[in-house]
Amino acid sequence: MSVDTAEPSEFSPRQNAVLEQALRLLVDGGEKALTTSGVARAANCSKESLYKWFGDRDGLLSAMIAYQASKVRTFERNGERLTAASLHDHVVIFARDLLEVLAGDVSLALNRLAIGQSNRDGSKLGKLLLERGRRQIDRRAMALIDAGKRAGLLRFSDADEAYHTLYGLVVSDLHVRMLLGEPGLKDTARQAERAVTAFLRLYGTEKVLAEMPALG
Q: What pLDDT is attached to residue 1?
A: 39
Each domain of the chain, given as residue ranges in start order, spans 13-70, 84-211
What is the CATH architecture assignment of 84-211? Answer: Orthogonal Bundle (1.10)
The reported pTM is: 0.84
pLDDT, tens digit (0-9, with 9 covering 90-100), for 183-192: 877 788 999 9
Conformational region of residue 191, where left means phi above 0, alpha means psi within -120 to 50, and beta covers everything else: alpha
In angstroms, the CA 95 to CA 198 distance is 12
Look up the CATH number of domain 13-70: 1.10.10.60
Q: What pLDDT is attached to residue 141?
A: 94
* Angle, helices 47-54/13-29, rounded to nearest 10 degrees: 110
Low-confidence ranges of the chain (pLDDT < 50): 1-6
CA angle 177, 178, 182 (to 5 degrees): 80
Q: What pLDDT is attached to residue 2?
A: 43
Task: Tell me, yes or no, if the two domains 13-70 and 84-211 fold the same way.
Answer: no
pLDDT, tens digit (0-9, with 9 covering 90-100), for 82-110: 999 999 999 999 999 999 999 888 888 88
